[in-house]
Amino acid sequence: MTRNRLPPWLVLLLPAVIIILAVVAIPLVLSLYSSFTPYHLTRPDTLWKWTGSFNYIKAATDPNFWKAFGRTVLLLTIALNAEMLLGLGLALMVSKVTHGQRALRTAMMFPMMFSPILVGFQFKFIFNDNVGLVNNALQSLGLTDVAIPWLVDGNLAMFAIIFAEVWTSTSVFAILILAGLFALPQDPLEAAKVDGCTPWQSFRFVTLPFLMPFIYIAMAIRSLDVARAYDIVQVMTNGGPARRTELLWTLIGRTGYVDARMGYANAMGYIAILLSIGFTVYFFLKLQTARRELGMGD
Amino acid sequence: MAQVQLKNVVKKYGAVGVVHAINLDIAEGEFVVLVGPSGCGKSTTLRMVAGLEDISGGEVIIGDRVVNDLPPRERNLAMVFQNYALYPHMTVRENLGFSLKIAKRPQAEIDRAVDEAAGILSLTPLLDRKPGALSGGQRQRVAMGRAIVRHPDVFLFDEPLSNLDAKLRTQMRVEIKKLHQRVGSTVIYVTHDQIEAMTLADRIVIMRDGHIVQVGTPLEVFENPVNTFVATFIGSPPMNLLEGVIRAGQVVLADGTAIPQPPGLNVAEGRKVQLGIRADNIMPEGHALPPTAHMAFVEMPVILTEPLGTETLLYATLSGTEMQAKMLNPRPVSAGERMRFGIALDKCHLFDAETGNSLRG
């Protein structure tokens, strides 16, 4: 009696294939497909109606979408640069600490240990215009006697969100840059001293070029994180007031789950992913260039 | 160019002294080598001159300025490091010109200085490469080039050749010597390799445990070591030392062998001494230099031979001590063979057995 047996290599690969299909491939294909339909969560039959690129054209011509897109890019640019500069400063200072550096490094990780949702609530309270810490402090110090509408004014709300984002994630940069500082060879620095460099010149011409790969790695990781920013914004402003802090994913989340227009949300999601890919590729290329400059090979 | 003076220079890490009040005068244009075993304080001394280590006490004077509190950049010196310390992200050209760029010299002047240094060190074809694409010897030359372009008052070398293979080391040694003849700057050179010290130095400074043991020209320290440390450190193979007691003008060894004491020395009867004999001054009969007026002869069993081509190094035992002797015009010698060796007494040394200090002069 002969049974039809699968070749052993296929049998062995099957668990992996099944998992990848179930977890990645099928949802991916399904969501991509649904972005070409008017799929509405409350009307499942809409999944079978093909509308071609309708959703994409709609997104591309929707000013709200592009405003959210622009705001996300703005958030990315400001938050990443602020985190990089602060993280660099923090790392440089911590690297000079001789006693208790270990404890300090652990303490630096604390902000990363909190759930972003809780961080959102915390800063929502801090920036509250009536009972918030910031206004309270400003008024007690006599710097102002009006209640600054931190989370209501569009620009101030954006600032508050960036502030929360920076507070949470500066330590990512600091830790990675600190790792770079520990790996920094001392000889070229001493050579620079003898060659006539001031401390600033040593930093500018020797330390910084060496740190650039570490900075770009942190940038690449963080750009993915910030590009999908959702939780903190959702909690602090819910994209409001009147869409003034609307980011790509708060917009997409609302469209998909509140308005139940999943097909359209998926289409916007795919455009948003291009942004993430764009940033990642950009930083990766920068990383490669920086590594090549250091002669670290390719 | 400038002279360098160390006056009672001390280096301490906490309570631990590393360099103990050393004094040294280095003349303008002189090539001085600091040599000694690891941990003797030679590199620390150099780094104090460079300004990379704080000076715990005393004064370092370059030219006529006390530089104790000046940062390295204001001391106008150049340093070549053991690990080359090139800037990995800069090309050879940028590495060479970096110090001039920092000093804000005009680009034309930088180019001229870089081209000149590259020419001297045959680096011209490598100017656009990064250090990562260079061999060890090439990197070493770039490190030297970086020092030359500045026309510094003093060149400092910190074990510059220790990371190179033996052949390249010999070659670079010659290049450094040529460079010094050409540039004529004051050089302070640190090494643990006594051959480098002997071949390069105008004067050798031998250090141990943070103290200067002896200062002198290579021939002075070779021919008149002040103690057994210098005697065994300088010269290859190291000087043989035999323990003995002075009896009736002879050095009597533990096994009763008596060797007349070197001429011109007057040592008290019964004093415990060490007789120092270099391998070049103890040779087997028939395979030796023509005998001198003061010869002594001993018989020793050979335990090992090291043929070197024109000569063979013989290991033999005398009074329980392992000795090394040179055999000219070598013939095959088998282990265990007893041979008669002639000792050129006028080239031998006597040291006090306890302090190790030379009894000559």
pLDDT at A39: 86
The 10s digit of each residue's pLDDT in A36-92 is 888 888 888 888 888 888 888 888 888 888 888 888 888 889 999 999 999 999 999
Residues of chain A with Cβ-Cβ distance to B130 below 8 Å are: 293, 295
The 10s digit of each residue's pLDDT in B134-149 is 988 889 889 989 988 9
Cβ–Cβ of A194/B77 closer than 8 Å? yes
- Higher pLDDT pick, A235 / B207: B207
At residue A216, does pLDDT exceed 80? Answer: yes
Q: According to CATH, what is the number of the domain A26-293? A: 1.10.3720.10
**A-contacting residues in B 201-220 (Cβ below 8 Å):** none
Nearest partner of B87 among B70, B71, B99, B74, judged by Cα: B99
Kindly state whether B281 is in contact with chain A, defined as any CB-CB distance less than 8 angstroms: no
Cβ–Cβ of A210/B88 closer than 8 Å? yes
pLDDT at A298: 43
- Report, as an integer, the average pLDDT of B149-167: 88
Cα pseudo-dihedral B37, B42, B44, B47, rounded to 10:
-140
**B-contacting residues in A 195-214 (Cβ below 8 Å):** 195-198, 201, 205-206, 209-210
The 10s digit of each residue's pLDDT in B341-360 is 999 999 999 999 999 999 87
Residues of chain B with Cβ-Cβ distance to A197 below 8 Å are: 73, 102
The mean of the pLDDT values for chain A is: 86
Q: CB of B176 within 8 A of CB of B160?
A: yes
pLDDT at A220: 87
Nearest partner of B203 among B214, B190, B217, B185, judged by Cα: B217
Q: CB of B276 within 8 A of CB of B350?
A: yes
CB atoms closer than 10 angstroms to residue A200:
8
Domain ranges of chain B: 4-233, 240-352
Kindly state whether B98 is in contact with chain A, defined as any CB-CB distance less than 8 angstroms: yes
Fold exhibited by the domain B4-233: Rossmann fold (3.40.50)
Interface confidence, given as ipTM, is: 0.80
- Report, as an integer, the average pLDDT of A16-28: 92
Cβ–Cβ of B85/A191 closer than 8 Å? yes
In what helix (H) or strand (E) does residue A182 lie, and over which residues does it extend? helix A154-183
Residues of chain A with Cβ-Cβ distance to B163 below 8 Å are: none
pLDDT at B361: 61
Q: CB of B96 within 8 A of CB of B118?
A: yes
CB atoms closer than 10 angstroms to residue A20:
12
Kindly state whether B297 is in contact with chain A, defined as any CB-CB distance less than 8 angstroms: no
At residue B232, does pLDDT exceed 70? Answer: yes
β-strands B240-247, B211-216: how paired?
Answer: unpaired
Per DSSP, the three-state class of B90 is coil
pLDDT at A296: 64
Nearest to B99 among A195, A198, A209 (CB): A195
Nearest to B102 among A201, A294, A296 (CB): A201
Cβ–Cβ of B87/A193 closer than 8 Å? no
What architecture (CATH level 2) is domain B240-352? Beta Barrel (2.40)
DSSP string for residues in B53-83: S---EEEEEETTEE-TTS-GGGS-EEEE-TT
pLDDT at A294: 78
